[in-house]
Each structure stands twice: as structure tokens, then as C-alpha cells.
Amino acid sequence: MAGSSSGFVAGLTAAALATVGFLAFQASATVPAGLAKPRTGDAPGVSTSKAPRDRKEPDALPDGSGTGQRVVYSVDDDRVWLVGESSKVKRTFRVTPGSVDPLPGVYTVTSRSNATTGTDGSAIEHVVRFATVDSVTIGFSTVVRAASAPPDPALKTGGIRESRAEGDAMWDFATIGRPVVVIP
């Protein structure tokens, strides 16, 4: 009896995973075309040119990164700012980018996953997705357990990795629809 019930549970689990996978595919296929693409003209005050950095305070929020509550990600500096009300920086931290960078522009958080497996085979959590470049999904995440084998160097990855504490802060802050401003 124990063997038959575990087979039944495994079957139910497989069916549930297939259903979730199908629904995720359907959801991604029905997202309006403009949601995952940069909209540089939609956000006043956002500059996609190389913003001058404050040499005395390199962690300072760059000029031209928009207004209001938002996530700001600098591709050149591998740094993120979580910006709250009145454009006050709540937190800033360094990140490790994947092999594919998003283009400068304004995006929104389009989906989130509490836990999944990254393209590189690592167990990841607190995934916050906001863009797609050449069929590679771009988002912030935290590695829970690294893959057992090193990833193929030719593998295109869009995971922008954060420490556990920063991943928790991003997860709490970057809800669906939150603007993500990508600057050079």
C-alpha cells in the first residue's frame, strides 16, 4: 500500500508541475508586448546616457535615474538602489550580473517566483523578473545552492545575483508593477 500511494503522490506532483509550467508559459505568452520592453520615453527625468557618478560618494544615487519609488540598476557599476518615497534611497548594494545585460530604459516588475532553478542550474529564491533580451529573461535573484557543475561558458544567463540579505530586501520592495530603471 505504501508503494502505491507514493506512486500516486508522484503522479499528482508531476501533473501539478506540468500544469504550473503550462500556466506559466500561457501567462508569458499573453503579457502585453510593451510590458517587458524598455520605455525610455515614458518616464520623465530618466536619462539613458552615461550618468556622471559622484566621485566623493560612489554609492550615491546617480542623477537622471527617474523619480518616485523605483529600483535603479546600473549595468556599468553592478549596483542597485532601492528608492522609496521622495526619492530617498532605502538601500544600495553591489550585484553580480549574468552574461546578458538589459538595455538602459524603464521597465516594470512583470513576475516573481519565491523559489525555482536558474538557467545555470543553481537553486535560487526571491526571483524578481523585469525584462527579456534575445529570449533571455532578466531578473534579480539569490542563490540558495549553487549548481553541482560549473555552467557552460556559452550559456546566456540573465540572473542578476544578490546576497541573501539584499535578495530579501529586493523581494519585499520590488512587487509586480514596480518600476525598474536601468542606467548605463
3 — alpha (psi -120 to 50), left (phi > 0) or beta? alpha
Share of the chain above pLDDT 70, in %: 69
Short-list 101, 105, 157, 159, CA closest to 129: 159
Residue 160 CA to residue 94 CA, distance in Å, equals 10
Q: pLDDT averaged over the chain?
A: 80
Hey, which residues does 160 pair with through a beta bridge? 140
Is 46 or 35 the better-scoring residue by pLDDT?
Answer: 46
User: What local confidence, expressed as pLDDT, does residue 147 receive?
Assistant: 86
Is 137 or 59 the better-scoring residue by pLDDT?
Answer: 137
Give 55-114 pLDDT, tens digit per residue. Answer: 667 689 998 899 999 999 999 999 999 999 988 999 999 999 999 999 999 999 999 999
Look at residue 14 and tell me whether its pLDDT is greater than 70: no
User: What local confidence, expressed as pLDDT, does residue 5 receive?
Assistant: 54
pTM score of the predicted model:
0.72
Look at residue 125 and tell me whether its pLDDT is greater than 50: yes
User: What local confidence, expressed as pLDDT, does residue 126 receive?
Assistant: 97
User: What local confidence, expressed as pLDDT, does residue 54 receive?
Assistant: 59
Question: Contact 134/157 with Cβ under 8 angstroms?
Answer: no
Question: Contact 130/109 with Cβ under 8 angstroms?
Answer: yes
Cell numbers for 79, please give them. Answer: 549596483
Residue 45 CA to residue 32 CA, distance in Å, equals 25
User: What local confidence, expressed as pLDDT, does residue 86 receive?
Assistant: 87
Overall size of the chain counted in residues = 184
Q: What is the DSSP string of 8-19?
A: HHHHHHHHHHHH
